[in-house]
Amino acid sequence: MEIINEQALSHCIRDAVRAELKQHFRTGGNQLPKEAQLLSKQELAAELGISLVTLTDWMKKGLPFLRLHKRVFFERSKVLEIMRQQTIDST
């Protein structure tokens, strides 16, 4: 005895997942605290008010970053900590 066929079940699952995703993005999802977020090169440069050339120079000088395929990301908390440390060391 078949209560629901495979195609109907597939549609039900797809609709349920779609509804959950819409709700998740509508409410902002479970966002990480601001300090724990990953930023792209463009996002970090804009946030710090520096050029991409300057950011690349800082990377060469040791600014920690993560590489995922060809994309580069920065952990906001690590960047802020390094900047705080540099400020303390220079005073």
pLDDT at 91: 65
Looking at the structure, give the CATH architecture of the domain made up of residues 34-90: Orthogonal Bundle (1.10)
pLDDT tens, N- to C-terminus, the chain (91 residues)? 567 788 888 888 888 888 887 776 666 655 555 555 899 999 999 999 999 999 999 999 999 999 988 899 999 999 989 888 887 877 6
Give the pLDDT score at 16: 84
State how far the Cα of 66 lies from the Cα of 90, in Å rounded to an integer.
27
Terminal Cα-to-Cα distance of the chain (whole angstroms): 79
Which H helix or E strand runs over 57?
A: helix 52-60
Annotated domain spans of the chain:
1-31, 34-90
pTM of the predicted structure, to 2 decimals = 0.58
pLDDT value, residue 52? 96
